[in-house]
Amino acid sequence: MRHFESLHQFSVNEITDLLQLADKLKSGYRPLMGQTFAVNLFFEPSTRTKSSFVMAEHKLGMEVLDFQAETSSVKKGETLYDTAKTMEAIGANMLVIRHADDNWMEELSGRLTIPVINAGSGKTEHPTQGLLDLLTIYQEFGTFRGLKIAICGDIIHSRVAHSNAQALKRMGATVYLCAAPGFEDDSLPYPYITIDEAVDECDVIMLLRIQHERHEGHWHIAYYLQDFGMTKDRESRMKNHAIIMHPAPVNRGVEIDSDLVECKRSRIFKQMENGVYARMAIITKMMEEWGMYHAPAFKKYQITANKGTVANM
């Protein structure tokens, strides 16, 4: 049985199925069969991911157990495994976990009898963000083939960059990276270009948050927007059809001029909206794989794209 650890573990066809299901769920959904309980174990702060998982769980008719790491026995030294195993023992049917450890899944590997969804693992993976980002791009362009996508910012500390780069490449896009000195990650095999080259050439500019909490010492941001960020001048030079994305939270005036956060090209809040449906699709798939969802819902679906259809892939 699979947990939802990484987009790497899913084939292109499986990712396409998830995108189609997420898109279908936007226009209608049915609750899971029977009574199911979800627990969201967040050991790092979150606004979007946790709230959209709760929304997705409620829309699917799941009961959601409350868990706050700060007031739990984690404060007494309880391990992640013991917390997760406790939730399994009291009747949870699914766990959603975010943790600062890059490899926290290894601690749970093969030791639980319920599905686990990775809602963020240190600097390494944020696969549910990856799926909602793919959904946003696919709704916009109807395909990944032929798209030039630049992932720009704090690459080395970004779990979003690590999840998205490989998935976008496998789906057929050409991926570029763009980073200030010290933010590069040589382990990612994609060419680096400047922010100005990205603005001139790319169909999607995917900005990343500077991960202040993962930097050692103080990082000076005074000139970041002008030298590496999305200024109004750069936005005005983008291709007519090109879009701006950012997983958020946004450091306004750092990665992007504050006035551009809701500009015509920005898909930042669209990404958040898509997060609910991408997570509903992931939960549905996990529950199906683990035998907890037997309804033959949504066998036929077609993505709603501005241009083209899934048949283009």
Question: Quick check: 129 binds ligand CP (CB under 6 A)?
Answer: yes
Size of the site for ligand CP (CB under 6 A): 8
> What's the CA gap between 216 and 210, in Å, rounded?
13
Q: Exactly one of 87, 248, 256, 303 binds ligand CP (CB under 6 A); which one?
A: 248
Q: Is 247 in the site for ligand CP (CB under 6 A)?
A: yes
129 versus 266: smaller Cβ distance to ligand CP: 129
Compare residues 60 and 160 and give the one whose CB is closer to ligand CP.
Answer: 160
Tell me which residue has tokens 């960020």: 229
Residue 252 binds ligand CP (CB under 6 A): no
Q: Residue 301's closest CA among 56, 33, 19?
A: 19
Window contacting ligand CP (CB under 6 A); options: 8-16, 169-177, 226-234, 244-252? 244-252
Give the nearest distance from C-beta 98 to ligand CP in angstroms. Answer: 8
Q: Is 204 in the site for ligand CP (CB under 6 A)?
A: no
**Residues 6+ positions from 268 with CB-CB distance below 8 Å:** 244, 245, 246, 248, 250, 261, 262
Residues composing the chain: 313
Tell which positions 33-92 bind ligand CP, by CB under 6 A: 46-49
125: Cβ contacts below 8 Å, ≥ 6 apart:
5, 6, 118, 159, 162, 163
Q: Which is nearer to ligand CP, 20 or 129 (CB)?
A: 129
Check residue 309 for interaction with ligand CP (CB under 6 A): no
The residue written with tokens 């283009």 in the block is: 312
Specify the residue for token string 């980073």. 179
Q: Which is nearer to ligand CP, 15 or 248 (CB)?
A: 248
